[in-house]
Chain A
Amino acid sequence: MLRLIICAFALLSFSSFSQETCTLSGYITNAKDGETIIDAKVFIPSISKGVLTNTYGFYSLTVPCDTYQVEFRIGGMDTETKEIVLDGDIQFDFEAGSDFQEVDEVIVNANASDNTNSTNIGQIELDIDEIKKLPAFLGEVDVVKTIQLLPGVSSAAEGGQGFYVRGGGPDQNLVLLDEAVVYNASHLFGFFSVFNSDAVKSVNLIKGGMPANFGGRMSSVLEVNMNEGNYKRLSVKGGLGVISSRITVEGPLKKDKGSFMVSGRRTYIDVLMKAFINDTSPFAGSSYFFYDLNLKLNYKLGKKDRIFLSGYYGKDEFTFNDPDGDFNANMPWGNGIASLRWNHLFSSKLFMNVTGTFTDYLFSFGSEQDEFSFRLKSGIRDIGGKVDFTYFPNPRNKIKLGAHYTHHTFTPTSVSASQEDIEFDTGLAQELKSHETAAYVLDEFDLNEQWKFNVGLRYSTFSHVGPFTRYIKGDISSPDTTIVYEKGDLIQFYHGLEPRVSMRYLLPDNSSIKAGYSYNYQYVHLTSLSAVSLPTDIWFPTTNIAKPQIGWQGSVGYFRNFKENKYETSVEVYYKDMRNLIEYKEGALPSDNVNDNTDNLLTFGRGWSYGAEFFLKKALGKLTGWIGYTWSKTERVFDDLNNGEKFAAKYDRRHDLSIVASYELNDRWTFSSSFIYATGNTLTLPTAWYVQGQDLLFDYGQRNSTRMAPYHRLDISAIWYSKAYKEKEDPTTGKVIQVKKRFKSNWAFSVYNVYNRANPYFLYVDNDGDFLQGDFEISVQQVTLFPIIPSVTWNFEF
């Protein structure tokens, strides 16, 4: 198989044209701020050849040497045509927007026709400006909340942590911020994501047909890139909201050579709580806040080299202090992420990116009561590097290859406890070290005008190494034993080939059929004890007990655009199979992680999901938006759970509908709304009660056999923009002209849950009274989080 693919690549790569070829390459940037533009299209109409810029704004197009009218098609701007004499390899860096005005009224998707043209199946790019127009919960524009409005993507629950793609768990999403992995992309238990919208440049979601350059997760890739910063001038933007504020400063390090961007955001729930809660309240000593900081620096070292330094640091902190002073607790958690990248052009056809990444996620909990103190920590630290090459042999062919390495250090649980001078034996801190590597090659090529393929192969390995202590639990009344591995001992090695194929067959009438297949290994797991996702969920690596998750997904879709790409439609069906999924064993407790290995508490099973997704998007015009509908079924089967019978996954949703619309009334007002409907989540509730030892106990029935009421909600928003232009007399002509204002601002008014629907967050069986007193009652209670919530945010930019 491997040999066959390599031969095919070689054949396609070196198939040359009969006449001499020249390469046109370069970077496309925005003339306004110098930011590179992703997915801008460079197109030569006379020979119908074109190419898109990559994540770094680079393009390369090899065509027969000649003189061409070359079109540069960039989102939000008119297409500009340049005549280029291509008599040799030429680097042509293009500044978009220098010769013409920005089109303010309409956001045009640069690759509108790529809905049908590309091999991308299950891939959606979101325009950050579009996201900012949509209704936002408490005024906080959120990338992750917006992708949950797309078909095939759902949230765990209202404000749930993470997101679920096509029946996969939240750990199966590869979330990348400037190429560094983000393990926990949530603030405040999932009500907000870690992505500050002012610092975000682009968002790309791949939910099927994952190309071979991505790996390590089974379900999806969410690629978020930060703004590079303004190369031209110092600029500031920010916003004041009801619970948080943010500010971003960007500017040139050296004009047109380098730039910086610094962005910060902080909530002030803690300050508001102090204002509303008096000193005698039991919550008087409690507070919560989060903040995050984004930083990006980049510098052009020459025509062929650029470096980027990206950083993110965010932290949530919850504290509780008993007003009587008897008990206090503190729970901080957060991510620290950094990446350093170097782009190098070996030639106009060969682009290289070298990246070093650092990711640190830490959750901790500490409490003190009288003389007793308790501390718990859980976290991950990744240090990695990768090198990726992109080779453009001819316009029909783009080859990528690369290698990745990550050193993981997982600390699932580290506990210490003491009482006065006695230190309790809480065992050794569980620290698991491992090496993950991968190498890949892929070729995206046109076989002819109709057929286009993206064929790739990825090979990944994972080594769990010492030092490590394996606990072996004793039988009845017998003690536990341990096996100790020394530093560097190889405890377990896994490896596997991951073939990836996606294809497009172009049909007449601006339509196409696409299909994708991907096979993935995933070497990390997320274990959750709770019915809702929390920062206490534990990340855990593959070990000799916990095998790697293995999944494959096949999908087929029909894509069609109407009315000159004004309307994009698609229908996709998929089937996903997942092996070695993990769950906690029945009745596992958080304290069981102490003095034990987390994987001893786990049980392993299989899952599958299938469904159909329907998507209609209006991309152009005053009214834009989309309707997405998903029908799906997601099930699990574990030998040790539910008597070995299959059960619905907790986020199994039969129906999921979202309707999103945005209407630009004029240059001052934009109105938006979003409506979602989703089948209720499943959960496990007791089916029976019984009495033992004078206590009334519950017997739980089939796992996830109860379903909550459906979830539906309507949000609306209106944005009022200040005047973009001011009138000024032209000193030379004496005429009154319109001049663009430097200071711009807008007021965003939002109403969340307009008709005040009491959506279920979770259900529980409540027992009230005393059974032995004869006044005992059992009832099912539904907890709802958010009623109708209006909010207002003031945003500014200068």
Chain B
Amino acid sequence: MLLLLNGCTKEVTIDIPGYEEKLVIDGQIETDQPPFVMLSKSKEVYAPTDLDAFLNGFITGAVVTVSDGTTTVQLDELCSDNLPPGSEEIAAAMFGISVADLANYNICAYTSFNTAIWGQVGKTYTLNVTFEGQTYTAETSIVQPTTFDNLYWKPEPDTPNHGFSWVTLSDPANQFDGYRWEIKRINTNPDGTTVDAGYTPTFNPVFNDEFFDGLTFDFAYENPHAIGPSVPEDFRFLYPEGDSVVIKLSKMDRNVYEFLEKKYTQLATAGNPFATPTNIPNNIEGGALGVWAGYSPSFDTLACYE
């Protein structure tokens, strides 16, 4: 181990053959929410990771439809510089940027304000994307949600006024259950806005019930915002007393779960020689990357007081 610790690392330029540009579909549909699809293209690994170029490079001109088996709706192309009045906040949350930034980029997506195609529990939705003469299809379901039994905050003994948030969960027995865990702090800023504009996944946000099928148990989850060099080590991952947090626990079908599981594995293990290269499987037919994901969330709010 001493030898391993002494190993040195240097940057090298090496030929990585086999690049092929692919369409990337990032689509989702959630209970009581419109379908939302963003299209982009993959870039060669050595290509510059320019955020501005990427944000302005979303694909327009595709034909995107969503069907629940009885109703089929063609989604509208929606760009950040051409939003319907009153939809800015929703769009900013969807795009993952602030309302102020909307005007700075030309971010485009496909969605529909036709509530007939908004997400409903128990339905299966088929996505169809036609672009540059190629058609891509994918299918996802919105499964039954699971609600929390209880939420509570418990201070850590050695860290004053900070603690983990805990949940009591009863997992349904004899079925596959895949979960995604996200949080949003809703403490208000002086200007009246909330601290977080959107939900942030916790550190290991995706898990399934393989080890706790049918059990009722308590577990702690971390504060994904309490990380980084500015946070003292003893306070990392902890929620300060007084925070108000909305917990979002989404369920999904097995294909979406496997996409997310492998995605987070890749994020955690990219570059690790002790893991196989994780190619992320997806539920899209036609050769595109990305996912078409149906989510079935439960929400609850936790006030961080003992």
- Residues of A at the B interface (CB closer than 8 Å) are 159, 191, 269, 272-273, 276, 283, 286, 288, 318, 417, 419, 422, 424-426, 474-479, 529-532, 534, 536, 584, 586-589, 594-595, 684-702, 705-706, 708-709, 758, 760-767, 771-774, 776-787
Contact = CB atoms under 8 A, between A and B. Distances in A.
Nearest to B174: A479
Contacts of A785: 3-4, 6-7
A785 B291 CA distance: 39
Contacts of B280: 587, 697
Interface stretch (B69-77, B80-88, B269-277): B269-277
A779 B16 CA distance: 12
A474 B208 CA distance: 14
Contacts of B290: 690, 692
B89 interface: no
Describe B's contact surface by its main secondary structure: loop
13 contacts: A159-B3, A476-B141, A478-B175, A479-B176, A529-B274, A531-B276, A587-B279, A705-B18, A760-B12, A761-B7, A778-B49, A780-B14, A783-B273
Contacts of A699: 22, 42, 279, 289
B263 A695 contact: yes
Given A687-B45, A688-B44, 13 more contacts: A417-B211, A477-B254, A594-B211, A595-B210, A690-B22, A691-B26, A692-B289, A693-B263, A765-B45, A767-B270, A778-B45, A780-B11, A784-B9
Given A425-B211, A477-B175, A772-B51, A688 B7 contact: no
Closest 6 CB pairs of A and B: A764-B271, A701-B18, A762-B273, A690-B42, A688-B42, A774-B51
Interface string B251-268: 001110000011101110
A531 B273 contact: yes
Contacts of B13: 780
Interface string B204-245: 000000111101010100000000000000000000000000
A288 B175 contact: no
Contacts of A586: 276, 279, 281
B12 A763 contact: yes
A781 B10 CA distance: 5
B277 A686 contact: yes
B211 A426 contact: yes
B96 A779 contact: no
Contacts of A474: 176
B24 interface: yes
B1 A688 contact: no
A706 B17 contact: yes
A267 to B, nearest CB: 10
A688 B19 contact: yes
A783 B7 contact: yes
A407 to B, nearest CB: 32
B3 A786 contact: yes
Contacts of B272: 764
A382 B121 CA distance: 53
Nearest to A476: B254
A410 B117 CA distance: 53
Contacts of A424: 211-212
A690 B277 contact: no
Given A688-B19, A688-B44, A782 B10 contact: yes
A531 B275 CA distance: 7
A286 B267 contact: no
B16 A686 contact: yes
A758 B7 CA distance: 10
A783 B212 contact: no
Given A595-B210, A781-B12, A765 B270 contact: yes
B191 to A, nearest CB: 22
A692 B143 contact: no
A644 B10 CA distance: 34
B88 to A, nearest CB: 19
